[in-house]
Chain A
Amino acid sequence: MKSPTPILPLKLEDVSFEAGGKRLIKDLHCTFDAEPRSVIIGPNGAGKSLFLKICHGLIPPHTGHVQWNDANERSVRLNQAMMLQRPVMLRRSVSANIHYPLKLRKIPKSERNTLVEDALTQAGIARLRDHPARVLSIGEQQKLALARVWALKPQVLFLDEPTASLDPAATHAVEEIIRAIHAQGTKIIMTTHDLAQAKRIADEILFMFRGRLLERAPAASFFEKPENDLAQAFVKGELLWWRLGKAHRKNTDKQANT
């Protein structure tokens, strides 16, 4: 399954996206290298999910390029995986859900069985293997979604709020799984609203606000003192921080107009 060419680094050039006449992602420039765990934070509606989907190739940007190191589109597509913010369970058993993407990759059955068993055990849902996936609790579905992408052993894994509805123990378990996946050489790009989690997991932080990438810094220095004033307010959890946002938008709009 591993392609001989690494698909990273991933380069975004001047990427923007609009829908309904609104620019939702604005002028993104950035590069992702293979090693560090990148965590994207920012308020609701900042465009984090859109950003991940554009990188993952689910939505085409209106302007700009998403460029992978590997020129082979198929290999790029099959060597990355994403856990959506709202994962969809197929109407079949838990284990069949994990088998599905492996079958699409034409992995032989015996090998598939091992991968599925591993993933079930790692995600702690082995006892649920024959349950219909749709009747699982939200948290269990979250773990299944993680098991499903874990089994793919991707080079890059996008995670959109992977612990959003998990209890503390499950959150801890999922963080451990993410650590393990990363330890196996998978690049992690994820979003979270849990700043403590960002601190635990991130090697670097990307701060997004209203469709813009406002700051990118190593995790330690970011949490010590973000450079951007909005990021500062966000990290401190200031309740009225969005007022700053209004002023900020006026400023940037002015800049854009001139």
Chain B
Amino acid sequence: MAMVEIQDTKTVKGPDTGNMNDFGEAIRAALNLLITFDSDLMEIVGLSLHVSLAAIFIASIIGLPLGAAIALFRFPGRRFFSVLLNALMGLPPVVVGLIVYLSLSRSGPFGVFGLLYSPTAMIIAQVVLVTPIIAALTRQVIEDLWMEYKDQLLSLGANPVSALPTLLWDGRFSLVTAILAGFGRASAEVGAVMIVGGNIDHMTRVMTTAIALEVSKGDLALALGLGIILLCLSLGVNGAVYAVKEAAIRRHA
């Protein structure tokens, strides 16, 4: 937007310049927060990582074997499960938030645990959000791998049950990519954690919810600082995906 305005020399000193200054000011303040390891900022980043890493860990423990089992075993309703997983993959985060909210609220089935508005609630929401992604991608990876390996593994004396860990291990490079994709989605989403966590300061405030709040309050510095960190995280995740692929090609053709 600013680019267009700059071409008009008369408006260079107009209100837009003020915004530009605000913007520059905000960036400077954001960088300052980053460089000084501002404690509020670090707390938020720490909680975000804690929540998303815990969620991705639990989602992997459920999603990897689940996806592999759907790929390997013939059981009634298997096709339904596949379709369901793919559908759940695209579930809007707010819907997940709503469902988890309803089940954790006082009157819900898990209300007695009093988990609503706690980091645990946010972890649960992200697990619900990410498990289908990991399971669906795992199913695809393992199914392709099984096509290639089936005769060989059966010939060597395996059966579908003993092949499951084998295939998870041999698919490890593709599966790491699936897990990183899940992590990307977990750490970037805002709707679900906002609903079940409530964005309570020093309690359930994570990067995405903090950005949403600070922008609406007008405190751009913190929002930008967090935005930069999220961006770096996303770059880092994608870089890691790339590096894993490269390593896989180099080592295992």
Contacts and interface: CB of A to CB of B under 8 A. Distances in A.
B253 A87 contact: no
Given A132-B251, A134-B253, A135-B252, A58 B148 contact: no
A84 B252 contact: no
Given A90-B166, A104-B162, A53 B252 contact: no
Interface in B142-170: 148-149, 151-152, 154-158, 162, 166, 169-170
Interface residues of A, number: 21
Q: Give the size range of B's interface with the partner.
A: 10 to 19
Interface string B163-199: 0001001101100000000000000000000000000
B156 A92 contact: no
B151 A58 contact: yes
Nearest to B154: A58
Nearest to B158: A104
A120 B199 CA distance: 60
Given A104-B162, A132-B252, A135-B251, A58 B155 contact: yes
Contact of A134 (B156, B162, B172, B252): B252
A88 interface: yes
B252 A88 contact: no
B149, B155, B251: which has the most chain A beta carbons within 10 Å?
B155
B152 A84 contact: yes
A109 B86 CA distance: 42
Interface string A73-106: 0000110011010011011100000001100110
A148 interface: yes
B151 A101 contact: no
A215 B173 CA distance: 49
A92 B168 CA distance: 13
Contacts of A56: 155
Nearest to A96: B169
A53 B253 contact: no
A88 B251 contact: no
A132 B157 CA distance: 22
A46 B148 CA distance: 23
Contact of A53 (B151, B157, B169, B173): B151
Contact of A88 (B148, B172, B173): B148
14 contacts: A56-B155, A84-B151, A84-B152, A84-B155, A88-B152, A90-B166, A91-B173, A92-B169, A92-B170, A100-B166, A104-B156, A104-B157, A132-B251, A148-B156
Interface of B: 148-149, 151-152, 154-158, 162, 166, 169-170, 172-173, 251-253
